Amino acid sequence: MTEEKPRHASPLYVKLPESEYCIDYILVAEKNVVLAKESDDASKITPGTANTLKTIADFLDALPIILSNKISGEKLEESIVYSRHNIPVVSHETFKHLFTGGRAPLIYFSHGGVYVKVRGKKLKELREKMGLSRGELAWRIGVSNKAIVNYEEGESDVSLDVAWKLEKLFGDVIFEEVSTESLKEIFNEKIKAPDSEPRDAILRSVFIELRSYGFKNYVFSKVPFDAGVKFAREKINVKIAIKEESSSKDIMIASKVSEHTHTPLVVIANTLDEVGDEENLVVVKSKDPRKVRDAILNIFKREGQQVHFQ
């Protein structure tokens, strides 16, 4: 596993070993986490791989994204966001705009059309500043009054033709920029982790009890973690990754990912080679579900502070 700083911005790249995981890169910029999967043609991404990406993304509050040059054999157009199994697909060049900070409007394919994401509040502000009623603006750009209401309230985005007319009136400041946040806004509801239960008896026992406290559990395959639990309530959002007994190399990779994504890691292992002094890693040298549960609850109490369990 290697780490490198990208040329155009400051996010940390964590490159995972090829063939071992369904994620190629994990990128962290401030509080934003992006999980990138590369493919020469996005259509080769299977539903199983997509579900794995969605599951780990849901757990890490991350954006899964597919990097490719083609989809269904057709070359991707720059600055346009496509999708595969409800995961955003972009070219490598478009991907750079997520971190460069340069203005590039978010243009995406959806339901057979191409749309531009509008900043509804900004559109309303500039319309009112120009002294235009919704009806007048609707007449100028050839849409209904209801469409203007939907644009301003963030209920719908605009076609390329309407976007061009709006840009002539207000400039491109009314369009949302390509960013991890704007992509999450579009794809967040589509990126839901499918329910799954662990085969491992220890994890099953731990998860059953933790769910009674309000935790959500996750089971992973072909990612650095084996499982995870998350407590999200009001302003509290704490997640913990779980790794069962593995090689020191696998645990070091899991530990590195947990460190950079600010996700504490619990390793369940009776025997474990030296893995270094990692603050984010807790080793439970027992197969007793109660001890695993207690280790997880102690971390949640430490991280959540406001969380109190009886």
Domains of the chain, start order: 2-114+186-190 (3.40.1350), 118-175 (1.10.260.40), 201-304 (3.40.1350)
Summarised one tens digit per residue, pLDDT across range 15-30 is 888 777 999 999 998 7
Summarised one tens digit per residue, pLDDT across range 27-83 is 998 778 999 999 999 999 999 999 999 999 999 999 999 999 999 999 999 889 999
Predicted confidence band at 8 (pLDDT cuts at 50, 70, 90)? very low
Is it the case that residue 205 has pLDDT exceeding 70? yes
pLDDT value, residue 7: 36
> 187-193: long-range contacts at Cβ-Cβ below 8 A with a sequence spacing of 24 or more?
187/63, 187/83, 187/86, 187/87, 187/88, 190/86, 191/54, 191/57, 191/58, 191/64, 191/86, 191/87, 192/54, 192/58, 193/51, 193/54, 193/55, 193/57, 193/58, 193/59, 193/218
pLDDT value, residue 10: 67
Average pLDDT value for residue range 273-297 = 79
pLDDT value, residue 19: 74
Q: Among 11-25, 127-141, 171-185, name the one with the lowest average pLDDT.
A: 11-25
